[in-house]
């Protein structure tokens, strides 16, 4: 029989609502076991959870799947209430699982990989949704010009981003992406749409 993993060996930590417990793309050195409280996970921008993908209630493991799959956390995790957790070093958790039968280890590994793939897909869909909204907004504000369809930005990027429900950084990133794809041209407040049909396809995605 494998030795039991005793969580009492690890000191409890606590934080209030709003605390950032995990940040996307950061390597994991330990795994968080949430003993009490509620944690939201999704995509945070400018200190706000812009895209909520789900909520976890303690007691539960918050990020065991990416840690066991040797991947960074794909989502941001923010405390919704006061929380208490214990941090277990990744190496120690993996060492504990190595005591399990090979079949059980394989099952856990498969579940961890599956969770990570689903989380990455959810985050990518959020990003794609932002692209579609930006494309739709550009088309709605386009007017005929001597070089095709023209968009004159009468508002600041911050105001446009707020209207679209995304962070200004996300809007800037999407506009750069559209430029790189040849779907957007121009400088300052005067923009051109060289390929409106391709942009319409993005808006429908």
For 26-50, how does the pLDDT look when each residue is reduced to its tens digit (9 = 90+)?
999 999 999 999 999 998 877 888 7
- CA distances (Å), origin 25, targets 91, 100, 190: 19, 29, 35
Find residue 60's DSSP bridge partners: 34
The answer to whether the bond into 59 is cis (omega within 30° of 0) is: yes
pLDDT tens, residue by residue, 128-162: 788 998 999 999 999 987 767 899 888 888 888 87
Q: Which of 159, 174, 204, 144 is nearest to 184 (CA)?
A: 174
Q: Report yes or no on whether pTM surpasses 0.75.
A: no
C-alpha dihedral sign at 51, 54, 56, 57: positive
């Amino acid at each position: 029989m494998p030795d039991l993993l005793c969580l009492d060996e690890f000191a409890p930590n606590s934080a209030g609502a709003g605390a950032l417990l995990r940040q996307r793309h950061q390597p994991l050195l330990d795994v968080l076991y949430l003993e009490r409280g509620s944690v939201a996970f999704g995509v945070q921008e400018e200190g706000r959870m812009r895209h909520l993908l789900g909520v976890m209630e303690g007691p539960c493991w918050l990020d065991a799947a990416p840690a066991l799959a040797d991947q960074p956390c794909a989502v941001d995790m923010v405390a919704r209430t006061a929380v208490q957790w214990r941090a277990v070093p990744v190496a120690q958790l993996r060492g504990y699982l190595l005591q399990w039968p090979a079949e059980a280890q394989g099952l856990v590994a498969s579940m961890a990989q599956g969770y990570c793939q689903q989380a990455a897909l959810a985050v990518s869909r959020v990003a794609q949704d932002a692209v579609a909204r930006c494309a739709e907004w550009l088309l709605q504000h386009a007017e005929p010009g001597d070089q095709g369809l023209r968009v004159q930005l009468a508002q600041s990027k911050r105001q446009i981003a707020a209207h679209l429900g995304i962070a200004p950084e996300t809007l800037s990133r999407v506009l750069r992406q559209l430029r790189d794809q040849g779907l957007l041209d121009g400088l300052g407040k005067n923009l051109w749409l060289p390929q409106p049909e391709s942009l319409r396809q993005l808006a429908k995605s």
